[in-house]
Amino acid sequence: MARVWIPIVSTELDALPAVCARTGEPADRFLALSAKARAGWTWWLLPLGVLPFLVVRHFAPEVTVLVPLASGAGRRFERLRFAGQLALVEAIVLAGAGLLGGSRDVLLAGITFLGAAGLVRTLEVAHSVRATLDLSARGILLTGVHPAFRDEFEGLQRAAWAHATSLMDRTGAAGGRCPAMPTHPPQR
């Protein structure tokens, strides 16, 4: 699978290609992905416990990007997410019943379902497109995308870059850069 760097401006203008980010087929739906900034220093909070780490990570800057998907890939993603949520609810109910009823077997079944929910979540992350916000570069890094999506997006970026350059040539913009122009050309 490939990676794509998307300027934040492109996500606001819905400038992503109509190609499924997961399979490379024509897309007919969108998946809202949350892209959070990941500060490296937050890992130093783990010795203080998981709670301070999770609180700081929760308040990290976040952007939502609509990623195009084919209907088949979207249905698979929704089924996997539903299975994980169902296993988590079953784990909570069984663990609570086991604790309240004093039944060790029911409590162990709840812990087993909790492990199943974790496994399904791991599969969901492994088999889906992931997004990370990079505030310093003013962009979002999509990982786990299909090479056809990457190629289509880079083609759109090259066309936008060429159009902005031709406009600057015609208008004679001072300094060689206008505010709407991308900060750097797409790389191949």
**Does position 187 have pLDDT exceeding 70, yes or no?**
no
Instruction: Output the six-digit token pair for 96.
Output: 């609570």
- Specify the pLDDT at position 14: 62
**Does position 132 have pLDDT exceeding 80, yes or no?**
yes
**What is the tens place of the pLDDT at every residue in 66-120?**
888 898 888 888 888 899 899 999 999 999 998 898 888 998 999 999 999 989 8
* Pairing of the two strands 62-69 and 2-7: unpaired
Residue where the block lists tokens 């990007």: 65
- pTM, full prediction: 0.69
The full set of domain ranges for the chain reads 2-176
**Does position 178 have pLDDT exceeding 80, yes or no?**
no
